[in-house]
Amino acid sequence: MTVLPSARRTYDDHPLPEDNDKFWTVLLWGVSAAVIVNHQGAPALPETWNWTLHIHAGRFANGIRQKMAIEGSEPSREACFAPLRHAIERYLDLIGPDGWAHHVEHLEWLKERKDATRKRQNRA
C-alpha cells in the first residue's frame, strides 16, 4: 500500500516563536499518525530531526516494536519523510485495517474527552 503522509506545524503560536518550525504533526488521511521534532543536543553536536509513529492500534500492535522501528533520526526534516513513510507503510501492513480503525476511534475518544474537560473547566 502506498501512503502519502503530509506534515503541518504542530504549533503556530509556540511560546518561543523561533520554535514554530521545530514541531510537526504528520497526517495520514487527515488523521495524526506521527510527529517530526527538531532536536538540538549538546552544543558540539549537530541538530537532528527525530520522527516517531503515534498510531494507537491497541491489541493489533502487540509486539510491533520487536518487528520494526517506530522512530528514527535524520539530519533534516525533509530527510525524515522517506524512512517515516516506509515505517508507516510497514506498520499499516502489520496492523491491518482493523488496527487503523482502532487508531481513528482512539483519536475520536481523545477529542471527546478533551472537549468534555474544556466544558467542565468553562463552567467553573
Helix, strand, coil shares of the chain, percent, nearest 5, are 50, 25, 25
* pLDDT of residue 85 exceeding 60: yes
Give the pLDDT of residue 16.
76
pLDDT tens, residue by residue, 19-56: 778 888 999 998 999 999 998 878 888 889 999 999 99
> Bridge-partner residues for 49, per DSSP?
38, 74
Integer Cα distance of 88 and 108 in angstroms = 20
pLDDT tens, residue by residue, 104-122: 999 999 999 988 888 888 8
pTM above 0.75, yes or no: yes
**What mean pLDDT, rounded, does the chain reach?**
88
